[in-house]
Amino acid sequence: MSAKLTVLIVDGNRTNLALMDMLVRKLPNCTTLLQSDPAALLASIGRTDYDIAVFARHLPQIDGIELARRVKLQPHLRDRPILLAADDGDSALRASAQQAGIAAVLLKPIDPVEFRTRIQALTRGPTGPASPAGEPGWDDAGAAAPEQQAREAEYLATLVRVAGYRDRESPLHSQRMARYCAILAHNLGMSEQFCRDIRQAAPLHDIGKAGLSDALLRKPGLLSPEERRDMEEHTRIGHAMLKGARSPVFRMAADIALTHHERWDGSGYPQRLRGEAIPLVGRIAAVADVFDALTSVKAYKTAWSIANAFSYLHDNAGEQFDPACVAAFESGREEITEVMRTMTDGDDGTADAA
Ligand SMILES: [Fe+2]
Ligand SMILES: [Fe+2]
């Protein structure tokens, strides 16, 4: 069993401190270090260690952003992620937080689901178990050299084209869906690297369909229960196709392929995972995939209006979808509408423009 991850929480308000302490302790393999006095923390900072920190924006005598700057001057803490809990998250605040090296801004009052999602994303990453500080996590995906990242992007784009030859979906479906994933991830406060990776990885979510028979893929009308089970296998097949790669973005694509049909309430497939047991990337992809399916023309239905599709997501938050992901998607409505406007299918569902 790996060592416990320590989450340092600094907040002058003891109620907030107790709430965040309780939320972190509910996570597997996490413990807390609590501090209500930032001056006391700075006085002992050379002897303090943690894996992740959460600082309140307003603290006695010091601002949370300034505290982050000072803490990051310590060589042993420079690379430890810090979250900022703030009363508002306007762009000026987010810019100063980013400059101070803060990983994400969380809005107060703390939403328990969002808080746990962020902490888990930092501790576990999109794949695999928690990794103590110093071992690679999702943020270390950025360590790949630019040439290597460019090569990976080419490989991924080639795979998307190969998969597109067999998939009957419009080629724009996976591209729009991937952009929605990136907008959602950004609004969840995920790093630039994570948002770039999910945009490249998400178009492969249905690559496993390439392993299904033509008869099944091209069957018009409704599928029998047995055919439906065979169709559901595209998740495991896609995962098997991608899982052997060492690159973080390919591993992310493998996770998305496996889990994009899981449901928050545990009634999805193929593993019937529930809640946060579903990797974050799968929860994000589920929202983006369904939204694009609803707003697109299919052989069996017309396109839903944007308003109706957003209502569907909202009504199914907490059942089909992660509520934090739905909230993050809703806050990106303007950008999402713009993606829909610039990447439209023809009336028959075929690609109209890139
Ligand atoms: Fe799928
Ligand atoms: Fe899809």
pLDDT tens for the 354 residues of the chain, in order: 456 889 999 999 988 888 888 888 888 788 899 999 999 999 999 999 999 999 999 998 899 999 999 999 888 898 889 999 998 777 788 878 888 888 888 888 777 777 877 887 776 544 333 333 333 333 333 445 677 778 888 888 888 888 888 777 777 899 999 999 999 999 988 888 899 999 999 999 999 999 999 899 888 888 999 999 999 999 999 999 998 888 889 999 999 999 999 999 999 999 999 998 999 999 999 999 999 999 998 777 788 999 999 999 999 999 999 999 999 999 999 999 999 988 887 644 444 433
CA dihedral 195, 282, 109, 308 (to 10 degrees): 100
| Residue 79, SS3 per DSSP | coil
Ligand 2 centroid to residue 205 C-alpha, Å: 7
The beta strand positions in the chain, using DSSP E, are 5-10, 30-35, 52-56, 58-59, 62-63, 82-86, 104-107
| Residue 16, SS3 per DSSP | helix
Name the CATH superfamily, with its identifier, for domain 142-342: Hypothetical protein af1432 (1.10.3210.10)
Length of the chain: 354
Which residues surround the ion ligand 2 when the cut-off is CB under 5 Å?
A: 289
Question: Among all ligands shown, which has an atom nearest to the Cα of 237?
Answer: 1
Question: Among all ligands shown, which has an atom nearest to the Cα of 261?
Answer: 1
Element at 329 (helix H, strand E): helix 323-330
Q: What type of residue sits at position 229?
A: R
At 259, phi and psi to the nearest 5?
-115, 10
Ligand 1 centroid to residue 233 C-alpha, Å: 9
Contact 8, 52 (CB under 8 A): yes
Please report the pLDDT score of residue 346 as a whole number. 60
State the first-to-last Cα distance of the chain, in angstroms, to the nearest integer.
49
Q: Are strands 62-63 and 30-35 parallel, antiparallel or unpaired?
A: unpaired
- In terms of Cα–Cα distance, which of 1, 173, 16, 177 is closest to 87? 16
Q: What is the pTM of this model?
A: 0.62
CB-based burial label for 26 (10 Å; 0-12, 13-18, 19+):
exposed
Ligand 1 centroid to residue 115 C-alpha, Å: 28
Ligand 1 centroid to residue 331 C-alpha, Å: 25
Please report the pLDDT score of residue 118 as a whole number. 80
CATH of 5-124, one of 3.30.300.30, 2.40.110.10, 3.40.630.10, 3.40.50.2300: 3.40.50.2300
Question: Among all ligands shown, which has an atom nearest to the Cα of 169?
Answer: 2
Please report the pLDDT score of residue 3 as a whole number. 67
Ligand 2 centroid to residue 173 C-alpha, Å: 7
Ligand 1 centroid to residue 37 C-alpha, Å: 49
Question: Among all ligands shown, which has an atom nearest to the Cα of 260?
Answer: 1
- In terms of Cα–Cα distance, which of 116, 121, 60, 55 is closest to 84? 55
pLDDT tens by residue, 189-206: 888 889 999 999 999 999
Question: Among all ligands shown, which has an atom nearest to the Cα of 177?
Answer: 2
Same fold: 5-124 with 142-342: no
Ligand 2 centroid to residue 116 C-alpha, Å: 27
Catalytic residues: 209
Give pairs for 238-245: CB < 8 Å, separation 24+.
238/204, 238/205, 238/206, 238/207, 238/208, 238/209, 238/211, 239/208, 240/208, 241/207, 241/208, 241/210, 241/211, 242/204, 242/207
Ligand 2 centroid to residue 260 C-alpha, Å: 9
Domain boundaries, the chain: 5-124, 142-342
Please report the pLDDT score of residue 138 as a whole number. 35
At 34, phi and psi to the nearest 5?
-105, 140
Ligand 2 centroid to residue 112 C-alpha, Å: 29
